Structure 1
Amino acid sequence: MAPYNLLLVEDSEFITRHVSETLRSKHGFEIETVPTAADTRTAIEETSYDCVISSYELPDETGIDLASSINGRAGSPEVPFILFTGNPLESLAEEALKSGVSAFVSKSSHATGDMNVFANRIRLTIQAHE
């Protein structure tokens, strides 16, 4: 089975480097990174991804707005979208789910170490959309 192809949308260089290197080396994902929502839209027009993982707070808009714009475009297939946030999830959940967010991952508890829980959440989210 070919590795899943992910797009990570994160403007922090430290988090981007740590997450992408760990998901690639420890879990076998192919991963491309971009820092903004605008870059995300360009990337998904050029490449097909199995999942988009986006920070909630982006320089140009929120991850929820990005999810809505990606999954709401006419003629575009729905792509699994994971919101990656350090914010409390309770206040974001309802709006996020209505906007096309498939799952949530907390930066504080799942973006450290080998990220086994994070990698498993990604696989399950993609498999639920297949």
Structure 2
Amino acid sequence: MLRPSSLQRGRGRPDRSGNLPKATPAGFKSRWGGSSAGWSLGGPSRPSQGDGHGPSVSLRSAPLREKRLQPVSCLARFGAFFTAPVVIFHLNILSYFTFLWLFAYVLMVDFQPLPSWRELVIYFWLFSLVCEETRQVPDYCSGS
């Protein structure tokens, strides 16, 4: 079985019928003259020793520096929790259901000729929902 490092450079081009040629072992004389030894599909193979021609490899491992975790403040954890996308989604759903519950309560129980404080909360909440939907219109129209 041929390994990628033993393939001849430049022989991976398709012929006129579109078929790729078979891999040629390293050391084979190419049609351009010269030997292809030491070449692979990615370019010349380089030694991995410390002789200046490639990355040097050391058998000794470098001492690992121990990184200690820094304590995170309670406020940072609180902020990270409530800015997580899944938490934002669930809070949005909870807020919408609360709005629907309050709206249904005002319509069925607390509907009066003069608006009560619950009805004023619904008006403000509805205004904020409309503002949010209006803010999202340019993003929707631009396609992003």
TM-score by length of 1: 0.19
Higher-RCO chain (CA-CA 8 Å, sequence separation at least 6) = 1
Q: Which has the higher strand share?
A: 1
The normalised TM-score by structure 2 is 0.18
